[in-house]
Structure 1
Amino acid sequence: MTSLLLVEDDTVIRTSLGMALERYGYRVTTAADGLDGLEAARTGDHDLLLLDVMLPGLDGISVCRSIRETSQVPILMMSARGDGLDIVAGLEGGADDYVVKPVDLPVLVARIRSLLRRATFARTPAGPGTGAGAGAGAGAAVLEFGDLSVDTGALEVRRAGRRVELSPTELRLLLEFAAHPGIVLERATLLRNVWDYGWDGDSRVVDLCVQRLRRKIGAERVETVRGFGYKLAVT
């Protein structure tokens, strides 16, 4: 059974949301503040974390950053503010995606399933032939882009010979670029192929994940094509 950790300080939301997710077949562990949530994340074996941004003791963004120091577990942030400040901060802190409260349960479950698919993919060998969702097979290869190497069979990324640790979302994003080297990919395309959004969602999630990816593989490796999207530099 898939295990979720829900960190939410509001008792009503924590209880009702936990029960609702259990009805969808998930095993849900809860924590009521940031410090307990961080401890539970470090000591428990969870498949995905749901973090509220505004938490007592230690805010959700700080929890996210601390977890990212040692783990690439999928993290979904929940924000009650619609102005985007929490969203940007959460994504910059290492979250994979976000939802805005009050949470629409079907949307939340769809985001959870999408993140879990990415995490499963990141543990499964893949080939570059048909984009980030490709399965293992004859198409697997080690792709070289300057000092960056992408092993699509072992799902390993190295920069100047050193292994680069990527979150499942960052890995899928890089593999999508590597499957189309030198080709401009629009944000809407990346949202569909990497985040599994069936609609043109908030493109900030793409932009901020690209920023995180650049910090790990080199800023010059992913080029911005203004007004269109991004492409992987091939020289």
Structure 2
Amino acid sequence: MTTSTALLFADLTGVAVFAASGASAAVAKRLDLFGVVFVGVVAALGGGIFRDLVIDEVPPLAFADWRYAAAAAVTAAAVFRLHPQLARLRTTVLVLDAAGLGLFTVTGTLKALDAHVPAVGACLIGMITAIGGGLGRDLLTGEIPVVLRREIYAVAALAGSIVVALLSTYGLARAAPLTAAATFVFLLRLISLRRRWSAPVATLRPPRTGTRGPQG
């Protein structure tokens, strides 16, 4: 399997996983078929469209290659049809989202590096590619985006993109190491959820309400 074929397979797998994540979230919000498919497509393609526009790949693959939109729409429709058999949708969404996060981190970073974006920029593009779909999904379903909460989400994607950039620098950007990088992001996200790891937040102190003594 060539590198381009492997990237296409990983990209389409990420599309399907994020489409399932978006569709599951939409089902949980009791949206109709169109709403479920629309949210699934936005979740699946949003990050990739951003990536392609930034690296000047126009039109984005989501529009130029019918397989991307088809994979997203078919997966979302399948989730809508099969949702009675999907137990505990919240857990399903979280696991699928973590898997999509890992896959899109790897493909986004690699595509940026292939477009000769410097390593730091490629890491940022990889991170935004990974979190873009989840951001769109949460906004459309009326949730505070995961990336804005205390949870380890964008940090996991950024860590994974740094691993991919290092692998590429040392000539190790092959299937097995890249799979390990995607798995690293996936596990980091799930472990952080399990152990309730979070980024620090500002401590809000109540305003001082000291009383003044009588003045004479």
Which category describes the TM-score, using the shorter chain as reference length?
Answer: under 0.3
TM-score normalized by structure 1? 0.26
Higher alpha-carbon Rg = 2
TM-score normalized by structure 2? 0.28
Tell me which protein shows more strand as a share of its residues: 1
Tell me which protein shows more helix as a share of its residues: 2
